[in-house]
Amino acid sequence: MENKVVPVKIISSEPDSLSVYLVKVWQHRSLILTLAKRDIKIKYAQTTLGLAWTVVQPVTAVVVFSLFFSVLMDVKSDYPYVLFVLSGILIWNLFNYIFSQGSTSLTNNQDIIKKLYFPKMILPLSKVVVALVEFGITLILFIGLMFFFRMSINTSILVSPLIVLCVLIFSSAMAFILGAATVKNRDLNHIIPFLVNFGIWFTPVFYPVSIIPQQYLKWLYFNPMAGFIELFRWSMGLQQSFNSYCFISVLVSLVLLLISLLYFIKTEDSIADKI
């Protein structure tokens, strides 16, 4: 009679290692999609336009910024200003949704956290899926306008998915850090919207980096979103080159992602108790 080896499960009060925790997240990946579908249904339920609101909001912003900066302030760009500002809004809104919604996803889902066991990182990650859906819809509008203005498509467009990935890395890292910190300090729920509203003015969403004095230019790229927006515009053929300082944005994002993962895992076990 053969002896069967029963796998031993070790229970420890120590936090999981990074690799073990990421494996757990992968095992619960279906929950990410389930929560994302729920959020989309709730957000657009009982609305006349539904997902069309995803297009209405950036279009409204484009009109407002175009009237103010292009007409009143006479801000110049080498390409149609509508495309210039919409490209900035595309990337900024992707970051904005993940950062603002992901940062509050733990405190806004207290019932689920208390009733079910799952890696808590699932909650901010589900916001990434929602943000990508809305980004994809607006991107279709953006590409349609590129054809309308007869913009040429360059091989640099092949780099655009990598730039979007960098945006996801940075915004997710910010959501992980502030999401875990918000559980302990609820004042951050009020600070986060302020950071987003204030941060857009330090990001070249609706103005070109050429208006920034050269001596201050490198400091702009310590805001990773500045570099990512410039890189995205370059990949879409809306500017001929990008500043080498953009690589600072990539480096900052990668370092921040590692820090955010380690911090979130460290605080994971205390989230359910403090929520």
What pTM does this model have? 0.86
- The one-letter amino acid code at 257 reads L
pLDDT at 165 over 90: yes
Lowest mean pLDDT, pick from 16-30, 41-55, 199-213? 41-55
State pLDDT tens for residues 36-55: 999 888 877 766 666 677 77
Looking at residue 2, its pLDDT comes to 52
Looking at residue 13, its pLDDT comes to 55
Average pLDDT score over residue span 33-37: 93
Lowest mean pLDDT, pick from 118-132, 140-154, 196-210? 196-210
Looking at residue 164, its pLDDT comes to 95
Selection from 227, 247, 65, 36 nearest residue 136 by Cα: 36
Looking at residue 260, its pLDDT comes to 94
Looking at residue 60, its pLDDT comes to 81
pLDDT at 4 over 90: no
pLDDT at 5 over 90: no
Selection from 173, 196, 180, 179 nearest residue 255 by Cα: 173
Average pLDDT score over residue span 139-143: 91
pLDDT at 269 over 80: no
> For residues 164 and 73, what is the distance between their CA atoms, to the nearest angstrom?
30
**In contact, 54 and 131? CB cutoff 8 Å:** no
Looking at residue 3, its pLDDT comes to 55
Higher-pLDDT residue of 166 and 70 is: 166
Average pLDDT score over residue span 256-262: 94
Looking at residue 1, its pLDDT comes to 47
Structure tokens belonging to residue 130: 């929602």
> For residues 132 and 138, what is the distance between their CA atoms, to the nearest angstrom?
10
pLDDT at 138 over 70: yes
Long-range CB contacts (< 8 A, 24+ apart) of 209-216? 209/243, 211/75
> For residues 97 and 134, what is the distance between their CA atoms, to the nearest angstrom?
10
> For residues 50 and 55, what is the distance between their CA atoms, to the nearest angstrom?
10
Average pLDDT score over residue span 123-144: 93
Q: What 8-state DSSP symbol labels residue 66? A: I
Average of per-residue pLDDT values in the chain = 84
Average pLDDT score over residue span 243-256: 87
Counting Cβ atoms within 10 Å, is residue 98 exposed (0-12), middle (13-18) or buried (19+)? Answer: buried
> For residues 6 and 9, what is the distance between their CA atoms, to the nearest angstrom?
9
